[in-house]
Chains A and B, each alone.
Chain A
Amino acid sequence: MPDTSGIAANVVEDAPDDVSVKLLDMSLAGEAADTRRAAERFQAKADALVILGGDGTTRDAALGCDTLPLLSVSTGTNNVVPSAVDGTVAGAAAALVASGAVDDRETTYRHEMVKARTESGESVMGIAAVELSDRSFIGTRALLDPDEMLGGIVSRANPSAIGLSSVAGALDSLAPNEPGAIALRLVDEDASDQTVRAIVAPGMTTRVGVKEYHRLSDGESMVVEVDDGVLGADGERELEVTNETVEFHSVSDGPRLISYEAVFECAARAGVLKDGSECC
């Protein structure tokens, strides 16, 4: 948000007459909180929420939701959490959940989140990852150079993911709904006994030196002393940190995400997609 390409306005304009579609009437400050505030209003009224964006937008929406089922469609820069799914499939899956045609206990899951907190009380929250970079300013926000990455924490680890989740995924496996997190400290690949090949950013595959990694359960944390660096969330720099103690940990009870595959499997199994049948 704001919807600079006018996708939402086009949806409203092109909607069939018998479907009531309206834009949320809200003022925009042009910041992440806009997404959260919009999500809060959907939480109060909607039965499902479809998000067009990447990890950052999904996280911001998640912060405004509690139990509202979310279906995030991969249209952002960093897309670990959103699904690369056809728009019609996504819409139909959301409709099956929203209408109660499938049991949302079988088709949704709670996604863990991760957080970094400084001793002085500031914090950064990520849905897939919170990263620590040794660049000393936020600048253009994107985490550009893998050589500057000092480590961080991930809520999910899979080698087919992107960013820090890809690095963690080369060493261990962690499903998004598993409790806990994986914390990593990275070093220059030449100075490390352990290197992995990972997709660290869109269009960037590289070898990364891993100094250590730890599986953290809920309640456990990794503590790092930072002289001068930036904390990022989901691939974007967020908070400058100097002479601080930073604690990385997982956050349970994150957003409730819809698995579109599970929705259709459930619907087919229960015969929902056949005319005249009951839900699963």
Chain B
Amino acid sequence: MLTIREFDTRAGERFADGEIPGFVHLYVGEEAVGVGACAALEEDDYITSTHRGHGHCIAKGLDPKLMMSEIYGKRDGYCNGKGGSMHIADVDSEMLGANGIVGAGPPLGTGAALSISQKGEDRIALSFLGDGAVAQGQVHEAVNLASTWDLPVVFLIENNQYGEGTAVSDQHNAKNLSDTAAAYDIPGINVDGMDITAVNEAVTEARKRARNGEGPTLIEAETYRFHGHFEGDQELYRDEEEVEDWRKRDPIDTFSERLIERDELSEEELGEMREDIEMEIEDAIEYAKNADDPTPDEAYEDMFSQRVPDIDLFVEQANARADGGTRGGEF
């Protein structure tokens, strides 16, 4: 949780300074959900993420250096700098991608679970999705199919109370989004997303069900993003008092206080952890800043596993244009 907090806080600062291209959607405040969930998974379990995916990536064990490089648009990034913040993916870590399309994760999660089922593997898939995604048609299709075929997948709704600038109550009549599970005849569980132990326990139980062939579980974790929808959001849809109320329930503060009270962590150890993580993220930023940009040629790489004649022709023509018309013809 500390690494995610530091990573996203610094990414927000660097974005504000104009160093980072595109958009960043920060996970600050929601750390207990990603970490509680991924801590309940085995290493080879799949996850699918959302547009607010940095926290999921770190919780799944991705390298902050390569993540930061991706956000900076550098060649060393997880997607060679072509994806940016909303498209970090690392199939080798069973992280099937952050996703700029709201609600696009669950169909991938259901697909991954179908492959697990077909191959008879001993693992599961977990899809993170937001409260806004619950209103998307493809989410219904994904959950329904997973339920019908008893696939080993967990759907974890991060209800951060707003879909962009629209309050949950203005998007859904269901008081708890987990209540929608009844329509699929699967368990629906509502947990406190600011409490890492509650999220971890709910996902542990859901994973057990999935592995036992009992099908999917829909978990709703009630949480809050301390920053705006995106960096630069004026946040006209909520007042400061509400943000302050949620900040009092900061998942890092409450969990570290609990560990200290129980003598499982000392103030000194917590301080050392914070210092180490600050250095790690500073290193990641420096690494990303100094890494190479991809060349224009590379824009056409990593698109298809086999050569596609039309793409080859397109590249040839584009190169010709770049050369001032000395190579190739018109297109």
Interface set, chain B 114-147, CB cutoff 8 A to A: none
Q: Which residues of B contact A228 (CB under 8 A)?
A: 262
* Chain A residue, CB-CB nearest to B173: A6
9-residue interface stretch from B47-55, B196-204, B266-274, B278-286: B196-204
Range for the number of chain B residues in contact with chain A: 10 to 19
User: 1/0 contact trace for B190-216 toward A, CB 8 Å?
Assistant: 010001011011100100000000000
Q: With A144-B205, A242-B262 given, is the CB distance from A137 to B175 under 8 Å?
A: no
A selection of 6 A-B contacts at a CB cut-off of 8 Å is A4-B176, A4-B179, A136-B262, A138-B197, A139-B200, A228-B262
Known contacts A137-B197, A140-B189; A4/B262 CB under 8 A: no
B175 touches A4 (CB 8 A): yes
Binding site for A on B (CB under 8 A): 175-176, 179, 189, 191, 195, 197-198, 200-202, 205, 258, 261-262
Binding site of B, secondary structure by majority: helix, strand, loop or mixed?
A: helix
Chain A, interface size category, equals: 10 to 19
Contact of A76 with B by CB under 8 A = no
A4 to B222, CA, bound (A): 15
The answer for the CA separation of A228 and B261 in the assembled complex, in Å, is: 12
Q: Is A5 an interface residue (CB 8 A)?
A: yes
Binding site for B on A (CB under 8 A): 2, 4-5, 136-141, 144, 228, 240, 242
What secondary structure prevails in chain A residues at the interface with B? loop
List B contacts of A136 (CB < 8 A): 262
In angstroms, Cα B175 to Cα A198, docked, is 35
Task: Decide: B198 and A139 in contact? CB cutoff 8 A.
Answer: yes
Complex CA gap A5/B178 in Å reads: 13
Question: Do A139 and B201 touch (CB < 8 A)?
Answer: yes
Residue in contact with A139 in the complex, picked from B175, B197, B262, CB distance below 8 Å? B197
- Measured CB to CB, the nearest residue on chain B to A228 is B262
Residues of B within 8 A of A240 (CB): 258
Measured between C-beta atoms, what is the minimum distance from A138 to chain B in Å?
7
B118 CB, min distance to chain A CBs, angstroms? 31
